[in-house]
Structure 1
């Protein structure tokens, strides 16, 4: 899963420009509070020093706060509409496990750290980007200046969930979409390509 470490170490301003975030809109206090509460909940669990306990905590947080089905459809791009019911029944549980693995690998970089919200950008009423940084980093910490992003989806009733996460302007779900759609396209597209993606996901989860 090299993409997670690359995504959280690389710099690419083009990613946010492509998302239309280059010209900030108003901040969103409700979304900032939502994310800070999650970060505060996560902090003691990520600081436990026990790797397996940390992974279990990440899985729990992902289950509670990430809109897994929405993200799972997004990363399929145009191919989401071509998925059969049988494929969907197999794909979405696999994707949930796959996404948890990605988040575990990502959050391992910040084990022992506390993150604090530094601001937000309202891209639309339903689409908010909340930024955070490491609070009180140790001297020489390679992630001391990393800007960690949380993309929040807010539904019509006002309920919020995490749609994507990233750092230094690289986004996990967008990277996954590039990977997934490439696998599907390279294996004939449509149902055949989706079968190939499902097989690839199973292989990665076993590795």
Structure 2
């Protein structure tokens, strides 16, 4: 269950200035499409690891606000970083996410993604309630916080059992940076090391 929860992780970010004047039906359709794509990746054993990674990367780039996610995860260190350091971090952040989770899709076989409903939020976003149905196991409930900005719908938060995975990751990254001297290059080096081929 833990691996499956991590697989669907995203990150909570500050949403000031985001325009989300769209309806629950549109948000549910958006999530239904993502769910189908992810389940297809989970169950399709005919594609290679490389193809699976490419498709997962496409989902991250087109359905999640990766830049805003990265800003939140870095917290105050984002402001301290140069444009080059930020760009490097966002690329490493995305690629380590792809590398960490894309190959795990092979472990799953007949899961189903279901939309349970949705709710408009006071801040203009919409929360879509979903669950992953697994054979011989309890369902996994996942709540998705969605906003629309500049006519683009993106995921800004994923809540698993009431906990934002992004907040947890922000804490972990801050710990790595602090132990390494307080600079963004510390986390960039750590992420780069994760991507290095195993010897």
TM normalised by structure 1 equals 0.72
Counterpart selection for 1:149 from 125, 128, 143: 143
Q: CA deviation at 1:107?
A: 5.3
Pairing 1:22-41 to 2, within 5 Å after superposition: 28-41=24-37
Show CA shifts across 1:7-64 (max 9, x none): 559xxxxxx9xxxxxxxxxx93321221012212333332112462443332222222
Q: CA deviation at 1:171?
A: 2.6
SS at match of 1:199: helix
Extract unaligned runs of 5+ from structure 1: 10-15, 17-26
Determine whether 1:196 maps to 2:186.
yes
Q: Which residue of 1 aligns with 2:41?
A: 45
Q: CA deviation at 1:152?
A: 1.8
Q: Which residue of 1 aligns with 2:158?
A: 165
Paired positions, count: 180
Q: Which residue of 2 aligns with 1:74?
A: 72
Show CA shifts across 1:125-180 (max 9, x none): 54333221124x42x22xx321023232322x442112233432333322221111
Determine whether 1:174 maps to 2:164.
no
TM normalised by structure 2 equals 0.74
Q: Distance in 1 between matches of 2:103 and 2:171?
A: 19
Pairing 1:2-13 to 2, within 5 Å after superposition: 5=3, 8=6
Contact 2:43 2:105 in 1 (8 A): no
Extract unaligned runs of 5+ from structure 2: 13-22
Contact 1:116 1:134 in 2 (8 A): yes
SS at match of 2:184: helix
